[in-house]
Each structure stands twice: as structure tokens, then as C-alpha cells.
Structure 1
Amino acid sequence: MTAVPTVRSRPAITLAVVLLAFASVPMSISGAAVALPGIGDDLHAAGAPLQWVMNAYNLTFASFMLVAGSAADRVGRRRIFVTGAAVFAVGSIAAALSTGIELLGLARALSGIGAAGVFASGGAILATTFDGAQRTRAFAALGSAAGLGLAVGPTLSGWLVGGMGWRATFGMHAVLVLVALAGVGFVAESRAPRRPRPNAVGAVVFVAGLGALVLGAVQGPEWGWASAGVLLLLAAGLALLVAFSVLQSRSADPLLDLTLVRNRRFLALCMVPVVTTFGFVTLLTYLPTYLVGAGGFSAQRAGTVLLLMTGPVLLAPPLAGGLVNRGVPARLLITVSLALFAVGNLWLTVIGPSTPVATFAGPLLLVGLGAGLSFGVGDGLAMSLVEPGRAGMATGFLNTMRVGSEAIVIAVFGAVLVSLIGTRVDSPELAAEVAAGDLSGGVSHVLADGYTHALHLALYGTAAVCAVGAVLIGLALAPARGRATPPAAPQPYESAASGTPAPRPASGASNAANATSGKAR
């Protein structure tokens, strides 16, 4: 359930502001990857220091998401959105002006903190601005915006890098967010009815714990998974997250209310982006490298082929939202989407160094359709299970699962790929070069065959993960047998402008909203 704010706002402008900012954040991830070669040449950087242009952003983005979401409930969702967008813009401008790789890494870390504020508060703003069928459509549009950022980021960055240099890429990200901020005056402020006290200790422990866990995963391929440094980081991260759970269970004003995690259906919906990372994001990250290295594609052609997978992500979310509003259970769409990941990854094992694009176009379209069906719908359904007072906390936790899993799974997938290639080539160093798309260190067709063998095995693994995830999440989303799932009791909504609870809607309006929410379930 959600409530509609009583302060005057412009829902259409609110939606446009949040969508533009949401598209900019993933664009900064996928677009920056294209700029890396130019950055390396200009700043004389390579290897791990260059990779931290990506890692620094992902690390802070994941670590600060929950903190930003809980802060949004306490001090105001619009306020955290504005602060996050401003920090993101400053970090992007600093990145564009950086004169060294170290400064660029710090600027990207700052952008990641701002991105966490945008993502955590943006979803909460939509959840408290829209209700019923309108909320379903709003979150479907949010899924399309995120997909748009991922899809067009590499293309726009490629044009800018080729015409103006890599600095223009980060400048573009700053401009887009500043344009979004221009309309923020039409966004209503909102916060929890009872403003919780700051939980500084919990925030520090959580950021340190998740940061150590993500850092350990990121450094695993470089330092070695059995190295003392990686094992220490992973152990420290897990220990701190356990300590965080204990602290939250004893806190009167927790950063994360553990009753959210104990909600079977909400937790299942938070696992949807984790499975999506396995079935979709890993392909988005590693398939272009395979096409260029083993398939002999140009970077431009590889990016064009990838549109087969990213295109449906732009088109399917509104379709999925429309189906939900027409009575199709969101649970069914989500389960089908995860099953499509499994089938698509399994089918993609037809790919080889000389395979025509038409042969593997089908699985790419299937994977993209799976991502498009779940983007937005899953988030909207998750927010329908949370009262408005915890909207920021809920979106913060949901997106922590999304971004944290991306940072960890992508690192682990890459390490597994290198290990599998290593079983077919002479040395670990050569295996790493092949996984990066460089097949010049040996007989090219032998290395390409080894790369293909490793990719096929990895695809079998991701297909299995997605199949199991589809079954478990589908079962977890099922209502309890023998009784209907009661809707969450609506909570009073406090306007930041008035400071007073809004009156409850009339019973007819409330019943209509409940009926719409029931369709989603």
C-alpha cells in the first residue's frame, strides 16, 4: 500500500525528473566502460588502476544505497534525491577534469555515493506519489529508463569519445542530472510519519561490511581468491554484516528493519535482481569481449549486435505493466522472466567464433525480453508490500541487493571464466589476456576454441542458477494456502510541507487501490 501526498505536486514532472536521473546512473556504468581505452592512453594507466574507474563507482554505489534509503525516510526523499543528484553531478564534473588516474578514481567514488542517493530516494518518491495502476505504470517506466541508460550508454559514449574525447562522456552524465534537477521544484517532499533517530553506528558498520565484501570480490581475480588479503576482506565483510544484523535487531531506530527481510514475498522480490545479474548483466558485460576477441567483430559491430538483447529491455516494461493492470499476476510475469534467462543462456551455447549472428539472435532476444518483463514490475510489486513510512528503506535494500550482486557476481563470473580458459591454455596470464579479448598470445583459433569452451560452461552454470531461482522465487511469491494474504494496513502519510498526517482516502478509493494491489499479487 501507499499514500498520496497532500502537498501540491506535478506527478508527470515528478516522473520525468526521476526517470531522467535514473537513466543517467546506469549510463555512467555502461558508458564509462567504453571510455576506458581512451582514459588509459591519456592518463598513462593500465591494469588494476584503470579498472578502478569502474570499481570505485560500483563499490560506493552498492555500499551507500541502504544508508541513503533510510536517510530519505528520515530527512525527506526529495532532499536526499537532490543531494544525491548534486553529488553525482559534482563527481562527474570532477571526473571530466581529472588530470591523473588516482583523482579520476576518487571522482568516480564520489559519483557512486551520489548515484546511491538518486536510486534509493527516486524509487521511494514514485512509491509515495503514485498508487494502484498508476504506480504499476510508473515503475514500468522506471524499468525502461534503467534499460535505456544501459543500452544507449555505450553508443553515446562511443560517439563522444570518438569526437570529443573521453572527458565529454562524464560531462554528459553531469548535464543530464542537472537537467533533471531543474524540475525538482515540482516534486513533493515526503518523509516517514515518525522521524527515526540517526543510526550512525549501524551506517558505519554496514558500509564497512558491504564495502569489504565487494572489495574482496573485485580484488579476487587480481590478488588470487586464496590470497590472505582477499580472504581477510571477505571474512571481515561477512563478520561486519552479521554484526550489523545483530545491532539492527536491538535498535529502536534501525537502519534496516529486519521485519522487511523476514517478509517472505518482499525478500523473494529482492532476489529477482540477483538472478537478473546472473542471467542478463553478466552477458551484457562479457559477451561484447567474446564477440570482439573470439568472433573478430569490431567494437562498433559488437555494440550493434548487443542491441538484440538491450532493445527488448526498453520495450517490454510498459507491456508488462499493462498486463499487470489488466489482471495478469505479477508473480507469473516475474517467474516467466527468470525462466527466460535460463532458456536464453542455455540456448546461447550455440555461439562460436564463426557463428552467424542470426544463429544466436534468438537467445539474445529471449534474455532481453526476460529482463524487460521483470524490470519495474518486480520493484513496483515489492513497494506494494511496504507501508509509505519505510519506502526509502525498502528501495535502499532492494537496490543494495541489485548493485551489490552486480559487483560481486560480475567479478566472480570473470574469475570463473579465466579459470575455465586456463584449463585449455598454457598459463594463467594468457588465460586472463584471452578473457579480456586479446588472442594475440598464441594460435588464434586454438585460443578462440578455448574461450568458447569456457563461455559455454559458464553459460550452463548461469542457466542452472536462473532455473533454480525461477522456481524458488515463484514458490516464495505464492500466497499462503488456505487463506488470502491481507493487504498491509495503510500508514498515515506526513507531508514535509504541513507536518501533519494526510486524511485517509474514502473507502471506495481505498477498496479500488486494494483491488489493483491484489492483481499485482
Structure 2
Amino acid sequence: MPRPTPEHPIPASAKKPVVTLVVVLLGYLVLPMGMSGTTVAVHRIGTDLDASGASLQWVVTGYFLAASSLMLVAGSLGDLFGRRRVYRLGAIVYGSGCAFSAAAPDILALDIARTVTGIGAAGVMAGGGAIVATTFSGPARTRAFAAVGTTGGVGLALGPTVAGWLVGALGWRATFGLFGSIGCVLIVGTWALAESRATDKPRLDRAGTATFVAGLALTVFAITQGSEAGWTSARVLGPALAGLLLLTVFTAIERRAERPVLDLSLLRNRRFAGWLLAALTTSVGIGGMLVYLPVYLQGVNDLSSDEAGLTMLMMTLPVLVLPSVSGRLVTRGVPPRLVVVTALLLLAAGNALLTVLHPGIGALQLLVPLLLAGSGMGLASGLIDGQAMTEVDPARAGMASGLVSTVRGTTQSLVLALFGSALITILDARLGSPDAAGRVAAGDVAPIPGLPGIDPATELTDAWRLVLAVVAGVVLLSALVVLRLLRAAPADRGDAKVRTFPRATHRPAETSVPVPPADAVPDRQPIAARSIDACRRPSQCS
């Protein structure tokens, strides 16, 4: 537990750390489960609400986008107004979003409700990380964040299976309602927590945050619209250009800001950039498969939602086991770069071998590709964040882990949008109908009126094979680049180029120790730690 000093009083929550950790862990179990678990409900949602294409994609993409992009904002608000307050407000918004999702009368209402749910998830996960940081210190903090990371990985991995059973037994509306009820439990649990906030209120990088969130949202929106409106239409090019412009402005703002929300100067460090690329590549290699394969299995193989979820266990079980294995390998002297490159090669092999996909494929034929992909994800998730932190000055560890978490979450949002849009674009080229392409991509493989002799299941399978081959190639090339970057001399850490900031007048005193991130949770930002580089004395960062 933290040692009390006049400058660093012990938060009341530190006096009951077990209760605090249980409340936080419940959030980190349920929210990732809701992220990945929704994928098995997409096929039935599309059927019930007569939806397909971009509007159906947004049920998943909207949640990921809101959660990943708004963690930066939630973290700063927690420093300003209190971490427990942000956690509680996030739980309220999350529960309300789930309730509205359960009652949504049409796909537009459901898309809005799911985006609202993602906003709440950002508050819960950002606030939860900061609460753990203020409650524990030293080895206890390391163990606490290990528990947070493991719990998040369990939730993400078991999401499709658990949600598959729930959707099969109760339906998707009742499943959303059940997740909402757990949000109510989180709200009640916040009364067992103590409030904490920065001793001196930090400034919120409003310009950087606004341009990042708006730029990312517009870019993802353009990608999801491309397959239906046409990639050269004003409906796509307008948002895409505006989004890219805002992201360019965001980069310029962050380079000049006294206290940037993301310190992009860290990218000068080649080894850190290598670990960052590895984090990005794992999202590319696993994201589309995790989200869209259950839809294929339900539509083409006519599996129920619970059967599709059970099939996905072949990929998700290694994610539960192998993070600890990668840590033991490094401890025993295996170079971390070889472990992570091996993980990326396993991901590439899993995607490549899954090109054997065909209508009626059995679990035995899926076993090897899914095990390989899951093994790659499991090995990488137990290694990337911790190794990335070793490559930067300890005074910037909080900012560095924030950059890794943001890149991972952003990539997941973009991958979901790109994977779905690529399937629809390929199908549109084959079928000549954007509407039919959207329905087939959503798993509706019934005969298409006006297109006799065309088997939608075969067309969808061919589109899947092409996309999987491209993903495998991208992951393979990225693995080679990661290997090259990580071969840079350890001295190339950028320590001599540490960006210096003015003495902080807004440093959260009680959270000045670097926060280890949760490896498997796509979109978590270690909140209060991002101001760590403003420590006035080394003793405050120990």
C-alpha cells in the first residue's frame, strides 16, 4: 500500500484494496466480454431488424470506436473531477446504453445505443485503471494490474462463447439487458470506493483530444460507407478527407503542446516503434476473424449462436493460457523480439490456413488455423506492453503505455470497419448489387432474386479467402519490419532526446508511478499516469 506523506495522503480506497480490486475487475471482465460477445448476435440482429451492410457493422464498430477514442478524454476528466465519479458515470452510461440496446426498435436506434454504451465503457475502463493506480503501489500494484490484464483477456476471449450461449437461450435483447444489469452492479459497487483526483488540477488538451476523436470518427465512418456508397462518392471522400485533415492537425498540435494527450516524439525510438507496430499488427491479425467469423459460421454453416461461440473457443482458449508462457520464456532468456515475431508469424499462419474455409467446414478443419491465430494473440498479449515500457525513459512510461493502448484501440476500430467493408466491396463486384452484397456479408445466404445460378455462400466464402490472404500477407510483412526495428541497439532508446515539459502544476501526486497496462484489453488507457513525466523529484516516481 502507498506510504502516507503530507503530499501523498493514502486514498481511503487503499484501506480496502480487495474490495476496490473486485469492483474494478468486474468492469474489466464484463466490458471486454460485451465487446467481443456482440459479434455472435450480429446475424440474428440483422435478421430481426432487417439490417445489413454498414448499418449492421456499426453495432460492433460504434462500440469499439467510442470506447477506444474517448478513453483519453475520460482519463483527463478523472484527474479533474475524480476517478470514482468518472467510473460511476461511465457505469451509468454503460448500463443505460445496454438497456436502450435491448429495447431498440430499429437498427439506427441500436447503432446509437451501442455507441453510447461504448462511451460508458471508456469511463469505466479509464476510471478503473486510475483507481487501481491510486490504491496500490510497488509489487502490489504490479500484481493488481496483472490481475486486471488477465481478467480483461478472459472477458475478451470468452465473450463470443458466453454471449453465444446467452443469445441462443435468451435472445439478443435479453442478453443486452443482462449486460445492463451488471452495469447496475458496478454502479452500486462504486459506493465501496473512495474518491481521488489530482492534487493540482491538470489541463485538458482540448484541441488535441477534439481533433483526434473527430478525425478518427470521420475516417471510420467513411470506411464503413465506402462499400455501399462507392469509394469515390462524396459521401465517402468528404468524411475521409476531413478525417485525415483533422488527424494531421492533431499531429501538429501534439508536437507543439506543452502537455500533449499523446507524446508522438516517442516514435523516434526505433525499438519502441517496433513494439508499437507489434501491438498494431496483433489487432490486424485477430480483429476481423474474432468479429466476423461467428457471422460466417451462423450464416453459411447454419450454426446456432451458441454453437458458433463454442467453435470460437478453439481460438480464444490459447489467449487465456499463453500470456504467462511468453513471460516465462523471456524470464528464461529467450529474446523478447523472437517471442513476439514468432507470435506474429503464428497469426499470419492462422489467417493463411483459414483460407481453407468452405461451406460445411467442420470443427476439425478449423482447429489448426484457429489454434495458431489464438496462440499468436496469446503470446503477444503477454509481452508487448511490458517490453514497450522498458524501451523508454521511466519518466515517460505512463505516456508511452497510453500511446500503445490508443494505437491498439484505434487499430481495432479501423480493422473492424475495413474487414467488413472489404467483404462487401468484393461481393458487390461479384453480385452487382450493394444491397445484396451487404446482406450476404451479414450471413444471409438465401438465393438472391434476379441472380439465378449464383450461390451466395460460395461467393461469401471466396470473399473471405481473399481478405484472409491479404491479412496474412500484411501480418507477415509487419513481422519482418518488427524484427528489424527490434534489432536496433538498446542504446537507441531516445533517452537523450527526452522531451522536457515545464514543471507540472497539474500532476496527480498520488498516481505518479507508471501504470502497467492490461495486455489483452483493446482499448484501455492508463489514465492518471500520463502526467508522470512531470515528477518534481525522483522519489515521487519510485
TM-score range, shorter chain: 0.7 to 0.9
Q: Any idea what the Cα deviations from partners look like across 1:384-413, whole Å, max 9, x if unmatched? A: 556788676555443332232222222222
Q: 1:62 aligns to what?
A: 68
Kindly indicate whether residue 481 of structure 2 is the aligned counterpart of residue 472 of structure 1.
yes
Cα gap change, 1:435/1:49 in structure 2, threshold over 3 Å: closer, same or farther? closer
> Does 1:248 pair with 2:263?
no
2:315 pairs, out of 309, 315, 323, with: 309
Write the distance in 1 (CA, Å) between the matches of 2:127 and 2:268: 23
Are the counterparts in 2 of residues 340 and 367 from structure 1 also a CA contact under 8 Å? yes
User: CA 1:446–1:86 in 2, change beyond 3 Å: closer, same or farther?
Assistant: closer
Corresponding residue of 2:274:
268
Does the CA-based 8 Å contact 1:78-1:125 persist in structure 2?
yes
Report the Cα offset of residue 6 of structure 1: 6.5
Q: 1:495 aligns with which of 499, 504, 510?
A: 510
Compared CA separation, residues 75 and 132, structure 1 to 2 (3 A): same
Cα 1:468–1:122 change in 2 (3 A) is farther
Which digits, 9 at most, give the CA deviation of each residue in 1:139-186, with x for residues without a partner?
A: 554444333323433343344444444333223223334434555567
Does residue 1:201 correspond to 2:202, yes or no?
A: no
CA–CA distance in structure 1, aligned partners of residues 122 and 406 of structure 2:
9
Q: 2:221 aligns with which of 215, 223, 229?
A: 215
Given the alignment of the two structures, is residue 26 of structure 1 paired with residue 32 of structure 2, yes or no? yes
Q: Point out where structure 1 has 5 or more consecutive residues left out of the alignment.
A: 511-521
Please give the residue correspondences for 1:343-382 in structure 2 after superposition, counting only pairs within 5 Å: 343-382=349-388
Query: What's the offset of the Cα at 1:113?
Result: 1.3
Q: Name the amino acid aligned to 1:466.
A: V
- In structure 2, the CA distance between the partners of 1:94 and 1:418, relative to structure 1 (3 Å rule), is closer
1:119 maps onto 2:128 in alignment: no
- CA 1:480–1:18 in 2, change beyond 3 Å: closer, same or farther? farther
Q: Kindly provide the amino acid, as one letter, of the partner of residue 461 in structure 2.
A: T
Distance 1:478 1:99 in 2: 54
TM-score, normalised to structure 1, is: 0.81
SS at match of 1:480: coil
1:110 alignment partner AA: V
> What does residue range 95-174 of structure 1 map to in structure 2 within 5 Å?
95-98=101-104, 101-123=107-129, 138-174=144-180
Q: CA deviation at 1:95?
A: 3.1
Shift of 1:11: 5.0
**Partner residue, 1:460:** 469
User: Map of 1:7-86 to 2, 5 A cutoff?
Assistant: 7=10, 9=14, 12-36=18-42, 49-73=55-79, 77-86=83-92
Amino acid at match of 2:489: A
Count residues with an aligned counterpart: 504
RMSD: 4.1
Asked whether the 8 Å contact 2:219–2:244 carries over to 1, the reply is yes
Q: Compared with structure 1, are the counterparts of its residues 210 and 14 closer, same or farther at alpha carbon in structure 2 (3 Å cutoff)?
A: same
Q: Percent of pairs identical after alignment?
A: 43
Partner of 2:515: none
1:518 alignment partner in structure 2 = none
Mapping 1:85-96, distance limit 5 Å: 85-96=91-102
8 Å contact 1:31–1:156 — kept in the other structure?
yes
Query: Distance in 1 between the 2:183 and 2:395 partners?
Result: 27
Which 10-residue stretch deviates more, 445-454 or 163-172? Answer: 445-454
Q: 1:408 aligns with which of 411, 414, 425?
A: 414
Q: Which residue of 2 aligns with 1:227?
A: 233
Residue 363 of structure 1, CA deviation: 1.6
When the two structures are superposed, what TM-score results if normalisation uses the length of structure 2? 0.78
Deviates more, 1:298-307 or 1:230-239: 298-307
Contact 1:220 1:411 in 2 (8 A): no
Task: Decide which of 219, 241, 244 is 1:238's aligned counterpart.
Answer: 244
Would the alpha carbon gap of residues 203 and 326 (structure 1) be closer, same or farther in structure 2, given more than 3 Å must change?
same
Q: CA separation in 1, counterparts of 2:430 and 2:55?
A: 28
